[in-house]
Amino acid sequence: MSATSNVQISPALKKKQPYPIYLGGIAASIAASITHPLDLTKVRLQASGDSGMIQSLRKTVRTAGVRGLFDGVSATLFRQMTYSMCRFWAYDESKKILKAGPNSPAWKLATAGAMAGSIAGVVGNPGEILMVRMQGDFAKAPEKRLNYKNCFDGLFRMIREEGVSSLTRGIYPNVIRSMLMNASQLAAYDWSKSILLKTKYFGDNIYCHFTASLFAGTVATTVCSPADVLKSRVMNASGPGSSSTIAVLKKSFKNEGPMFMFKGVMMREQDADFTVRELESDFPTQILNPPGPTRMQFEIIAQCRTTRARVSRMTLAHGTTILPTFMPVATQAAIKGLTPQQTEELGITLLLNNTYHLNLRPGKQVLDAVGGAHVFQGWRKNMLTTVYQDSGGFQMVSLASFSEVTEEGVLFASPFTGEPTMLTPEESMRIQAPIS
């Protein structure tokens, strides 16, 4: 006699079914929506040079309101539903090809992650470009903004205005960054999770997943920061000649040094030499940012969305000035009725000197001998010097009775001695050297 028994398989022994691939994209989209303000700040730190997380967040809220913290969120969701969904699927498939399991060595998991990253980097490149551009757009000067309405408007405009090839802008640093990210993040997650499960402190639950994710995120951020910064800068640029990775790399190294590669990595306040946003302008770089300790730095702090009026911070060799500012006129290296100390106590950070008058009295030789106009007048803060100084042009009007305009320049007769002085553009610049 035979007996038939129903054998029930314990739920714990059942083979775990794989999740649908779209769930990875949805989960990533939810997470990205929550962390979007921080990611927005990271991109602006990397691409536009805001000088720290707190300052960047405050500036965004001050200029665009709380909604400004979610600039470009549609592009972020588009990116997650292409890049993230693809990388989770590709990682699982790559592990199958390599026969990698939970207890596989770290190098095999990292290889699977790199394979997944290379595929996802290509698939998600258009979304990556849109996300970087839309997040960093409001940090630009108004005339340089792209003003995409949403991710689809941005996608169509890119193709229409820049050609289909624009969808591959920055693809090389993006793929490298994606390979590094997935090789370090996904592999670090699987590896750390397996280590945690071997201890008596963790089970396969949310606490284990959170701890493994924290470790994986730390590893991935450190490994990927250089490629991430480079990718953001190449993608944030637009126009001909701006998509060269090598050109962006050279320019960033020249202007900011090697530490530019780690902007935004800790989302902390950085050294001002590397983070103050330089003035976006058509002026030559050597004029706005001369080499050496006198390098000018310029940062827009706030901007009115209606009138476009701006509050800015200008840093020169002798300190920082908030613009707009009240600038006393020390035409002949002195302010009548005030000592330099009293002027400084009033909060003045910028004085104006006049080339023409200082050339007459005390003259270039005296200024050369004492070490320049700062020493001569006992002023420790900034003054308008070199190309920004009052170069004597106004005296063509104010001293019209003592001057004669010629093809070469302006011939002045000294109001003190009557001695003639020819002030040409070249001579004006030569006079300003000892003044500054």
What are the E-state strand segments in 167-323?
297-303, 310-316, 319-323
Quote the Cα angle for 55-253-278, to 5°.
Answer: 40
Pairing of strands 382-384, 350-352: parallel
The Cβ of residue 121 has, within 10 Å, a number of other Cβ atoms equal to 26
pLDDT over 70 (residue 393): no
Higher pLDDT, 199 or 316: 199
SS3 content of the chain, % helix, strand, coil (to 5): 60, 10, 30
Q: How far apart are CA 59 and CA 69, in angstroms?
A: 10
Q: What tens digit of pLDDT does each residue of 4-21 get? A: 445 454 454 455 566 788
Pair of tokens at residue 59: 């500036």
Higher per-residue pLDDT: 145 or 387: 145
What pLDDT is attached to residue 398? 66
Q: How far apart are CA 89 and CA 123, in angstroms?
A: 12
At 263, the pLDDT band (50, 70, 90 cuts) reads low
37 pLDDT above the threshold of 60 = yes
Q: Is the pLDDT of residue 75 over 80?
A: yes
Give the separation between CA 70 and CA 400, rounded to whole angstroms.
58
Q: Please report the sign of the dihedral spanned by the C-alpha atoms of residue 130, residue 133, residue 137, residue 139.
A: positive
* pLDDT tier at 153, thresholds 50, 70, 90: very high
Amino acid of residue 102: P
Residue 86 in tokens: 């693809």
For the ranges 17-26, 278-287, 339-348, the maximum mean pLDDT occurs at: 339-348
Strand (E) positions, 350-402? 350-352, 382-384
Helix (H) or strand (E) holding 107: helix 106-123
pLDDT at position 61 is 84
What is the pLDDT, as a whole number, of residue 256?
66
What span, in angstroms and rounded, lies between the C-alpha atoms of 125 and 305? 31
Confidence of residue 152 (pLDDT cuts 50, 70, 90): very high
Mean pLDDT, all residues of the chain: 77
pTM attached to this predicted model: 0.49
What does the pLDDT read at residue 277?
Answer: 29
Q: What is the pLDDT of residue 386?
A: 40
Q: CB 113: neighbour CB atoms within 10 A?
A: 30
Cα separation of 77 and 151, whole Å?
A: 9
Q: What is the pLDDT of residues 120-143, one digit of tens each?
A: 999 999 998 998 888 878 767 677
Per-residue pLDDT at 82: 93
Take residue 14 and report the two structure tokens written for it. 């059942």
Contact between residue 107 and residue 140 where contact means Cβ atoms under 8 Å apart: no
- How confident is the model over 385-392, as a mean pLDDT? 45
Among 111-125, 236-250, 289-303, which is the least confidently predicted range? Answer: 236-250
pLDDT at 394: 63
pLDDT score, position 258: 63
How much is the pLDDT for 287? 32
The answer to whether the CB of 75 falls within 8 A of the CB of 152 is no
pLDDT at 186: 83
Q: Report whether pLDDT(53) > 60.
A: yes
- Tokens (6 digits) for 172: 């090389």
Cβ pair 113, 183 in contact under 8 A: yes
State the first-to-last Cα distance of the chain, in angstroms, to the nearest integer.
Answer: 112
Which of 153 and 255 is assigned the larger pLDDT? 153
Out of 189-203, 220-234, 399-413, the most confident range is 189-203
